[in-house]
Amino acid sequence: MKKGDFLWGIALLVWIVILILPTSRVTFMNFTSNYPYIGGFIKFSILATMGDMLGVRVSKREWIKPKGFIYKAFIWGIIGMMVTLVFTVFMEGTAAAQASGRLPFKGSSLAQAFLGSTIMNLTFGPMMMAFHRFTEMYIDIKHDRKGESITLKELIEKNDWNSLVEFSWLKTCPFFWIPAHTIVFLLPSEYRVIVSAFLSIALGLLLAISKKEKKASIEKVNLYEKENCI
């Protein structure tokens, strides 16, 4: 076990202790209830960044501080504020649609959670992922080319659309985030954003696994082409 593993584990344990101990949990929940956007920013900027770092640790087998670390944490914080808002929008909107007969199973908490999660992850979810991907790319390029301008066209051309569409949109949205957020929406509202932030750690692992599989696949293709003189 490396020093980074220990420090990361301690950081995660601190969050768990805060949520387990009654006094700290009540204080934290009261703060995030009174200041929901600030609370969402803090939760995601820390926990989602931890997920990113864990993903790098798994894929590269060492702890590496990401380029533009503070800026990327800030972007996660912005996403946390977005999530704080859209959780209410999609859950309350789903309930209103059920009440008016535009969606089925009125009065069912499970149906409301599933339908709200499905609609959110088929609309807001892909756009949020694209926002995160492009802002992350911008930060990486800006870090390497300080002082140079970066155009949207350049970001679009550099983006790996295959991984964004095939993995992020067509795999993680329906098979990870829809069921995960269905469970999240069944929780009391004050716990939803923090649990979703913890899930971002799991997403970091998924992304790392995807990158490793893609790298292995590319290496196999290159080896095959080399052996067969293609």
Closest Cα to residue 177, out of 87, 97, 59? 87
pTM for the whole thing? Answer: 0.87
Closest Cα to residue 75, out of 27, 158, 126, 135? 135
- Both tokens of 201, joined, read 């750690």
Domain that includes residue 187, residue range: 3-227
pLDDT in tens, 190-228: 889 889 888 888 777 776 666 655 555 544 444 444 555
The mean pLDDT value for 60-82 works out to: 90
- Both tokens of 165, joined, read 């569409």
What pLDDT was estimated at residue 209? 66
**Alpha carbon distance 170, 110 (integer Å):** 23
Confidence of residue 230 (pLDDT cuts 50, 70, 90): low
**Alpha carbon distance 163, 159 (integer Å):** 9
pLDDT in tens, 143-177: 888 778 899 999 999 998 988 898 889 988 999 89
The mean pLDDT value for 47-60 works out to: 85
What pLDDT was estimated at residue 66? 83
Domains held by the chain: number? 1
pLDDT in tens, 109-119: 999 999 999 99
pLDDT in tens, 174-189: 998 999 999 999 999 8
**Alpha carbon distance 131, 125 (integer Å):** 10
